[in-house]
Chains A and B, each alone.
Chain A
Amino acid sequence: MSSVDFLALSPLVLAAGGSIVVLLVSAFAGKRPAAPFAVALVVLALALAAIGLAWSEAPRAVAGLVEIDGFTLFAQALIFATAFLVALVSYRYMAPRSGEDSDGESGGEYYFLLLLASLGASVLAAATSFVTLFLGLELLSVSLFSLIAFRREKTIGAQAGFMYLILAGASSAFLLFGMALAFMATGSLKTADLAAALAAGSPDVLVLASLGLMTVGIGFKLAAVPFHFWTPEVYDAAPTPVTAFIATVSKGAMAVFLVRFFAPSGLASAGAYPWIFAAVAALSMFAGNLLALREQRIKRILAYSSIAHIGYLLIAIIAGPGRAAPTVAFYLIAYFASSLGAFAAISALAEGDGECDDLESYRALASRRPGLAAGLALSMLSLAGLPLTAGFMGKFLIFRAGEGAFLWVLAVLLAVNSTISIYYYLKVVSIMYSPASEAGAAAGEASGGASAEASGATLSRPARAFGPAALAIVVAVVVVIALGVFPGPLIDLIRSLTAGY
């Protein structure tokens, strides 16, 4: 490896080194959670800045393991930026907990794990070899199940962490076996060689079996149907900022890997594979949206909604060379921003040990905390894909990517699903903007709003000061609106970054 290689890898190096620093700081920070938090933010900011350094060397393949090009750097920037926002959201959310059961702990290992998980995702997004794929994936998974079970005092968290551990382990086994078969068939650990074997026409059974096994591992990470069963439990039990991280970074990195894997030849040449992916996409859309309809807990609603969104994203991935990468890139930003906005708002509402999860606890939120309610509502509308939000433009690009006749069917299914999804997104919005009670509304109607105001006042709490989580919400909302109104510059940027795909 040359020094130039190090330059290209500098974001990863910084994140890896920085995570150690965070661990050290937290060891000496005593009970002050602010120190590791601040260091983690600095590390993430440095890693983001280093993307610029790496850009000067792109495109560059390093040691046949990773490919540092525009698309990779875009994904890494997105991952680090998201981790930055997740860290912001985490600060208040995690602080009281680490204070309570403090055995002289600062809770700094939380940020260490967060950095490691981002590192794993960044490696995954750059992987061109099965070695780096596995490395990134495991780094991500191991950090995640510790993060999911981070609140040790809660049984439900430990349960979910254990569940994730077992399922992640099992899916890794599938992935590994698939890799072994791929090595047997092609004699190489490069993902491109497997893709080439697929594209060569009438691939032999080993290649197909290897791809099939790997699909299980990939499907698990993406939480695509039928590998989605862990999603609602884990989303529900994990600390909300961690849920946000799973919903965005962990899935996005895998989607980026998939795009890169299929980029040279496209899925079309892979026998029955387009059909399998199409079926997974359709099933994910329908299962996610239909299961979300009856949910009454907001984190579970978002869990199912994320399954549906992976279904939408798969349509773009199937779309093939030239169209998949820019569409996926744009959709990821849109989806990341909307999800982060929603999860950040939910985290900000959590008090002490109590999660604000039941939909009923969101009733009349708009009159108690209008800013927060507006942010959450906007995120929901963006997830639903309504105009003026990033979600609308994302959906537009997916429709546009689905040029082929075969994909039109999926585009229409997406249209149907987006209608179904409106129902549960609106349910959340509607409850936030309803009066505190239906009786109160009637009374308010009659007496000119006086009593509605009064009942609102008794329920209201003093709004908390503008915290780091609020900053994250503001950033997410600004991105959502900016992309919904003027997506042009970003689309052009993405096009130039993904020119080779």
Chain B
Amino acid sequence: MNHSLFSLSLFILVPILSAILILAAGDRRPLLVRWISLLANFVNLVLALVLWLLGAGAPPAGSAAGLASGSASGAWLAVESHAWIPSLGVSFTLGLDGLSLLFVILTALMGAAAVLASWKSLKRKVALFHLALALVMAGIYGVFLSVDLFLFAFMWELMLIPMYFLVDVWGGPGRHKASVKFFLFSQAGGILMFVAVVALYVLHGRATGVYSFDYRVLLGTAFGPAAGMLLMLGFFAAFAVKLPVFPLHAWLPDTYTEAPTGGSVLLAALLSKTAGYGMIRFLLPLFPDAVRGFAPIAVWLGVAGIVYGGFMAFAQKDLKRLVSYTSVSHLGFVLVGIFTLTAQGLDGAVIQMLSHGIGTGALFVLVGWLEERSGTRDLDRLGGLWSKAPRMGAFGLVLTLGLVGLPGLGNFIGEFLVLSGSFHAYLAATIVAGFGLVVAMVYALRMFQLSFHGSPSGALTVSDLGAPQVLLLGVLVAALVYLGLFPQEVLKLLATLGASLGLTPGVMP
């Protein structure tokens, strides 16, 4: 494939360019601002899809194989490198392989969804909102594309700042506390990772004399078990906060709930995925030994998240908060899948991340519209919406079934692969996690029953979705169904991921 005409930094430049245009358009022309914002996401979506179609013709990406061997850029679909701080070995290096391609597509898709979800509901400081949105997007693309660890850590912290503003300026009544909590948790994790990145760089430099942050150079750095474990934990801290992993999830319900709809979509659909992506891309290959030692703990933390999130979701009265807790539960599967250290588990984790991103993102969009139309998210006041808004109800039903893990939708594939990957090594954990699926059934049906069924409460007037909204949710549901019916198309892109990381295939011996 010849990508000479194409530049990966376009993915980052397009949102930044749109940010400048938005700034120029200003608050007085909100409609223009919205269109610019949407168009930027659309351009990136088209770019990503074109790359996917082109890449599909190529042999299975083999990206990861090239990665692990630290070989030249041939294994990547595309690599782009510019000097940044040459004297310190920092470069602006972006790379795209099957794994990052999937997440780039997800980012563009859900970015557009975030813009559309805020189309009508967001009225205050529209330009500033879309400016922040565009900058978060730029940071997220940066995270998914960075090959240079310095750049990765830089982008990792960069996406926090506009995200903080999104919650703090446009959020719900408890936004100040929520945004600060979110920022402090994320910053604590991020800066520990940054220390670990610099430490890794120094250790490698002292051992070999080559001071570089390039991930391909740093692979295979040798260090003692204690140093390896400490560095691994530094990275893990950042990812564990962002995913989130069970005891570090405290910021999540507040932040997801208080954020404006567009912000919730980005947080749930994309920011949590940066953590899972970071674990697969960096944690596993850089610290194989430490990860192996830590895996049982991580798996059990994941299981704890699955069960805890499920129970908490069941107890919520606020629809948005309920959806937030389901995220804790679903992202627990991602952690379990990754740390089973089997190819199946890893594939499952990726599918789970994609379907959670699309499904839960869509659910947040739907809840946002519901609140916009009815003025409440309280499950006690909602009810009987199906008769008033059947289209909303239909989408609500499909997305709820996605939460449950109905076959035919992406979540089923993800959860199934994760559990079959963990079955041999962690039988007990698999059983408890399977129990989490039962809990999911309970909270999902309760949620649907209380909001869409039952006797309609007279006070509520709800208008149904219009054509543009139906189109957006339709596309997202179609993507979910695609993941559920043709997971092979996605898994093809990850074909050699497991093997390259030296993992067991995870099938019966």
B183 touching A415, Cβ below 8 Å: no
Indicate whether B406 reaches chain A with its CB closer than 8 angstroms. no
Which of B49-57, B164-172, B344-352 is the interface stretch?
A: B164-172
A399 touching B158, Cβ below 8 Å: no
* A492, B168: Cα distance in complex, Å: 39
B184 touching A491, Cβ below 8 Å: no
Q: Which of B154, B179, B191 contacts A415 (CB 8 A)?
A: B191
Indicate whether B188 reaches chain A with its CB closer than 8 angstroms. yes
Given A399-B198, A433-B168, A433-B169: A448 and B86 interface contact (C-beta under 8 Å): no
Which residues on the A side are within 8 Å of B85 (C-beta)? 486-488, 491
A445 touching B168, Cβ below 8 Å: no
Which residues on the B side are within 8 Å of A495 (C-beta)? 87
A386 touching B161, Cβ below 8 Å: yes
B188 touching A419, Cβ below 8 Å: yes
1/0 per position for B194-211, CB-CB distance to A under 8 A?
110011011000100000
Given A403-B202, A430-B179: A488 and B86 interface contact (C-beta under 8 Å): yes
B13 → A minimal CB distance (Å): 14
B194 touching A419, Cβ below 8 Å: no
Indicate whether A127 reaches chain B with its CB closer than 8 angstroms. no
B161 touching A381, Cβ below 8 Å: yes
Which residues on the B side are within 8 Å of A388 (C-beta)? 158
Indicate whether B424 reaches chain A with its CB closer than 8 angstroms. no
* A62, B169: Cα distance in complex, Å: 58
1/0 per position for B142-181, CB-CB distance to A under 8 A?
0000000010001101101100110011000000100110
Chain B, interface size category, equals: 35 or more
Indicate whether A270 reaches chain B with its CB closer than 8 angstroms. no
A423 touching B184, Cβ below 8 Å: yes
Indicate whether A335 reaches chain B with its CB closer than 8 angstroms. no
- The majority secondary structure among interface residues of chain A is helix
A488 touching B84, Cβ below 8 Å: yes
A488 touching B187, Cβ below 8 Å: no
- Identify the interface centre among B84, B85, B164: most chain A CB within 10 Å of its CB: B85
Which residues on the B side are within 8 Å of A441 (C-beta)? 124
* A411, B198: Cα distance in complex, Å: 10
B195 touching A492, Cβ below 8 Å: no
B87 touching A418, Cβ below 8 Å: no
* A488, B82: Cα distance in complex, Å: 13
A434 touching B191, Cβ below 8 Å: no
CB within 8 Å of B: which of A388-413?
388, 392, 396, 399-400, 403, 408, 411-412
A419 → B minimal CB distance (Å): 4
Indicate whether A426 reaches chain B with its CB closer than 8 angstroms. yes
A393 → B minimal CB distance (Å): 8
Which residues on the B side are within 8 Å of A238 (C-beta)? none
A449 touching B165, Cβ below 8 Å: no
Given A419-B187, A419-B191, A452-B124: A408 and B86 interface contact (C-beta under 8 Å): no
A423 touching B180, Cβ below 8 Å: yes
A487 → B minimal CB distance (Å): 6
Indicate whether B17 reaches chain A with its CB closer than 8 angstroms. no
* A386, B139: Cα distance in complex, Å: 13
Q: Which residue of B lies closest to A396 (CB)?
A: B198
CB within 8 Å of B: which of A477-501?
486-488, 491-492, 495
* A324, B419: Cα distance in complex, Å: 52
Which residues on the A side are within 8 Å of B183 (C-beta)? 422, 426
Indicate whether A387 reaches chain B with its CB closer than 8 angstroms. yes
* A427, B183: Cα distance in complex, Å: 12
* A444, B202: Cα distance in complex, Å: 52
1/0 per position for A60-96, CB-CB distance to B under 8 A?
0000000000000000000000000000000000000
Indicate whether B123 reaches chain A with its CB closer than 8 angstroms. yes
* A416, B201: Cα distance in complex, Å: 20
Q: Which of A403, A422, A486 contacts B184 (CB 8 A)?
A: A422
Given A388-B158, A399-B198: A426 and B164 interface contact (C-beta under 8 Å): yes
* A381, B157: Cα distance in complex, Å: 12
* A116, B306: Cα distance in complex, Å: 66
B88 touching A491, Cβ below 8 Å: yes
Q: Which of A381, A408, A422, A449 contacts B124 (CB 8 A)?
A: A449
* A392, B198: Cα distance in complex, Å: 13
A438 → B minimal CB distance (Å): 8
Indicate whether B29 reaches chain A with its CB closer than 8 angstroms. no
Q: Which residue of B lies closest to A411 (CB)?
A: B195
Which residues on the A side are within 8 Å of B155 (C-beta)? 387
Which residues on the B side are within 8 Å of A418 (C-beta)? 187, 191
* A444, B169: Cα distance in complex, Å: 12
* A487, B88: Cα distance in complex, Å: 10
* A223, B200: Cα distance in complex, Å: 33
Indicate whether B125 reaches chain A with its CB closer than 8 angstroms. yes
Q: Which residue of B lies closest to A389 (CB)?
A: B161
A419 touching B176, Cβ below 8 Å: no
CB within 8 Å of B: which of A450-468?
452
B125 touching A449, Cβ below 8 Å: yes
* A298, B206: Cα distance in complex, Å: 43
A445 touching B202, Cβ below 8 Å: no
Indicate whether B192 reaches chain A with its CB closer than 8 angstroms. yes
B195 touching A491, Cβ below 8 Å: no
* A418, B183: Cα distance in complex, Å: 12
Q: Which of B123, B161, B187 contacts A448 (CB 8 A)?
A: B123
A400 touching B123, Cβ below 8 Å: no
* A418, B123: Cα distance in complex, Å: 35
B176 touching A430, Cβ below 8 Å: yes
B180 touching A415, Cβ below 8 Å: no
Given contacts A399-B198, A400-B201, A423-B184, 6 further A-B contacts (CB under 8 A): A386-B160, A388-B158, A400-B198, A427-B180, A445-B123, A445-B124
A-B CB contact pairs (8 Å), 14 listed: A387-B155, A387-B157, A387-B158, A396-B194, A399-B198, A403-B202, A412-B195, A415-B195, A445-B123, A488-B85, A488-B86, A488-B87, A491-B87, A495-B87
Chain A residues with a Cβ under 8 A of chain B = 381, 386-388, 392, 396, 399-400, 403, 408, 411-412, 415-416, 418-419, 422-423, 426-427, 430, 433-434, 441, 444-445, 448-449, 452, 486-488, 491-492, 495
